[in-house]
Structure 1
Amino acid sequence: MNPTPPAASDARPASARLRADVALYATADGHVLRAGDDYHHVALAGAELDDLLTALVRDRPPATPVARAALDALVGAGLADPRPPRIAVAGTGVLATALRAALRRMGVEPGPGGAAVVALDDAALPVDLPAGTRACWRAGHRVLLSPPGVPAVEVAARHHAATVHRASDRRVAPRDATSGVRSAAPPLAGPGLELAAVQVAAELLRPAPAPDEAVVVDLVALSVSRHPVLPVPPAPR
């Protein structure tokens, strides 16, 4: 016979980590984990169970190894969400602002102390960017995100080398600075900016991103592509 589930007017503390329709509560002879209409008796000692409950409510790591293993098991079974990583977004432009907003919507509060990512509205990447720091930036009508295994400045150099010939072709050079018409819209705006911010945020939250795969968001076509990229070889001596 199934234990009696908690009443609809449950006054117990809520956990943002537990998935929808999952609850952990006391019964007359122990504790029960309820997932939808499935019920599982929990065999944890009092102190370890209290540690698990506190971790779920306060969204912090459990203090005891047994409670940590229990929480890992809940995450592995899809009954609880993993703790979102901390991400520090460096940048003051439109892309950085949109990226922070996208991360917050995904449950991540950007701030110091986490993995760093640089977000720029142009391709002027700092040459002294620390190794391993990922970066996203706008280059023409695209936003690029560097992979974790290739320095961002080298990704930018590869992209520039692959595209610079288009604008330098004399056949497409403007006759003068006043003839014709151009768009009044900023390059980073509307659906393109939203897609870029959401895609970059999701990529930063991937548990095992490809170490040498750059992500490219086309702001005009509203499409996403992935491109293997190798480090720029050293100059010959």
Structure 2
Amino acid sequence: MELAPRTELYESDSGFVLRTADDEHFALALGHDEFDQLAGALAGAAAPVSAKPKTALSQLLAAGHVVPDPSTEKVAVLGCGSVAAALVGMLGRVGMSTGHAATRSITVSDDGVETLGSDGSIACFRDGNLYVVVPEGVRPTDVSMRRAASRRNRQRIEDGYAPRAGGRRLTSPIHPVSDAAAEFVAAQVLAEVIDPTADHCVTAIDLRRLRVTRHPILPVPEPPR
């Protein structure tokens, strides 16, 4: 991948700067080592290993300031919703538009794992206030089962606080995936497509704070016979 035409990154007296093809200037919150990782990735060397340059690369790709190699594979998005729409737009902008010639697919939903459709190379779904990006080689059901087991140990409702059957109830009409969150999540999915994370490591995005963490997920063993 390379910088788009007339785009450059450089060091100024105040830090590193992105100059876009439209002559706009944006600060890059990167240290010298982090900038070198980003520059190395753009020069065809190893992918960034630190969180900041990795996020910066995904954001540059999402905004069209970095273009992938012409030989980049085509990717199909399976699903609908805010994240799917944002992802389709980003894939188109970086030359990985969807279509019948797609060699890879991503299954996407704004809601739970049970709403995912056909299996894709990468699966993406929401689990409460977290959005989860599941890489190739990991089953979405393994992720959801382990998270459900963890929740059962943490979220126990005290006596008297459980909802009463047939009682009054008011819930928020606002979906947890806002437009801003959808764009942010789509950028993380795009990063997973271009630069996969380690095996059995899922990406989790906090939809309220838009923070990214990564977690190892081991397969759930089959029940004994």
The answer, yes or no, to whether TM exceeds 0.5 is: yes
- Deviations 1:14-68 (CA, angstroms, capped at 9, x unpaired): xxx885369xxxxxxxxxxxxxxxxxxxxxxxxxxxxxxxxxxxxxxxxxxxxxx
Residue aligning to 2:94: 106
Q: How many residues align?
A: 165
- Give the structure, 1 or 2, with the largest relative contact order (CA under 8 Å, sep 6 or more): 2
Conserved 8 A contact 1:99-1:197: yes
% identical aligned pairs: 31
- Unpaired stretches in structure 2, ≥5 consecutive residues: 8-42, 46-66
2-side partners of 1:92 and 1:142: how far apart?
18
| 2:128 equivalent to 1:140 | yes
Residue aligning to 2:194: 205
Give the TM-score normalised by structure 1. Answer: 0.58
Structure 1 residues 88 and 82, CA, compared in 2 at 3 Å: closer, same or farther? Answer: same
Larger radius of gyration: 1
SS at match of 2:135: coil
1-side partners of 2:128 and 2:80: how far apart?
19
Conserved 8 A contact 1:134-1:151: no
Conserved 8 A contact 1:98-1:194: yes
Aligned residues: CA RMSD? 3.2
Deviation at 1:91, TM superposition (A): 0.6
1:218-237 superposed matches below 5 A: 218-237=206-225
1:66-215 superposed matches below 5 A: 76=44, 81-83=68-70, 84-112=72-100, 113-121=102-110, 122-124=112-114, 129=119, 133-170=121-158, 173-174=162-163, 177-178=167-168, 182-206=171-195, 208-215=196-203
> What amino acid does structure 2 have at the position aligned with 1:200?
V
Give the TM-score normalised by structure 2. Answer: 0.61
> What amino acid does structure 1 have at the position aligned with 2:5?
A
Deviation at 1:200, TM superposition (A): 1.3
2-side partners of 1:127 and 1:109: how far apart?
20
2-side partners of 1:142 and 1:156: how far apart?
12
Conserved 8 A contact 1:141-1:218: yes
Structure 1 residues 164 and 198, CA, compared in 2 at 3 Å: closer, same or farther? Answer: farther
Deviation at 1:126, TM superposition (A): 5.7
1:216 pairs with 190, 196, 204, which one?
204
Comparing 162-171 with 85-94, greater Cα deviation is found at 162-171
